[in-house]
Structure 1
Amino acid sequence: MARTHKAWATRTARDRSDTPARGRLLDAAETVFARRGYGPATIADITAQAEVSRASFYVYFASKEEVFRVLAARVRDAFLAAQDVPGVDLDDAHAVAEASTAAFIAAYAEHLPLLRLVEQQAQADTEVAALWQEIQERPVRRHARYIRRLAAEGRAAPVAEPLAVARAVGGMSVQFARLTAGRPSAYSKAVRDVTVMYLHLLGVAPHR
């Protein structure tokens, strides 16, 4: 039992490291799940896609279920990162709206096949269900905090409670991202349209 615990502890520590091999396995897993679906996808498919041995897979992940959960967490983090807009003045609501909208739509469109699988697996796996809840809620609540700050500083006049505005903007972004996933050429217009509607809901006049 002690040996098993030690092996698990070693693998867990390695999981936390951002190594190229682990990243390659995650990218391969996302490609395989998107192409084959959750059920038919196998560890052999993932290692073949990543061009690594099966043993290499087990250095970082215990199972197919675990690598899928890690992917779901990575998508959650991508949506949270979409609200981090380096190089953009956080006091400039217009710039933040455009940059965060662009990043969110791009992230959602990129991960759409996986997101669909996460939603499906959430029905059968409680850990995935918790991650799916986070994917839906954490970006919205973080966004709502930003809107509250703008309103408190007198730089925005939201048309509704900040959490409601954040949910509305998130919903619009998701719908436009789904369109963009099928028509990448529509991306720029989608970002413009959502940004305009976002600023309206925020109670900030668009640039003239």
Structure 2
Amino acid sequence: SLHTAVLTKLAAICLRGAKMSRPLPWETVAVIGLGTVGHLAARVHAVSGARVIGVDTLPARADALRRAGIEAVVAAPDSIAKAVRAVLPNGADIVVDATGFDGAANQAALIARETGRDDTPEVPARYLVQGSYPESVAFPYIPAFHRELTVLFSRDTRPQDLRDVLDLLRRGKLNLQGVLGQPFAPTDAPQVYADLQARKGDLLTAAFQWSPE
């Protein structure tokens, strides 16, 4: 529907990241931060068949992801790794950081699966920075070193990403139902943006209806 299609750009940003992290059906993915980008990143990574776990400090955001059929946990900022490890004792193959907040990199490195030291063929864990950071990002060297952690940065979208999202929607492979509620009137914009900034309720993002149906 056109109502769902307005999410194409945001979903394409997340698809761009998933094309870089390359989730496989037997892998596990932990998504830190379940705002709009994190929520969509979880849905996009789940298309691969990988097991996805979302984590956020706000119960409403975790509930929103659960309603989409994806596992989610709630944790304080300093116990995110502990909460995810309680569900994924061996760590995650892919960690998606959709927070943009300092300290997430430390938690992400602890969530990532450790790499073995024998000759078993193995792809190291990946850390995908999907959120936007205003300043420099610091990574904890020792945990990253022992995991041979691969760090990935995705940059917006390419035209093909937009086409691919629309194709996934058309074929029913990607479900974006429930991300948007009913569209708001343009006159409601100041209050809607204030609510989004204050992270009130379970509102992830919003659409505005500029003309009659």
Compute the TM-score of the two structures, normalised by the length of structure 1: 0.26
Query: Higher strand proportion, which one?
Result: 2
Greater relative contact order, per chain length (Cα 8 Å cut-off, separation 6+):
2
| Structure with larger Rg | 1
Query: Higher helix proportion, which one?
Result: 1
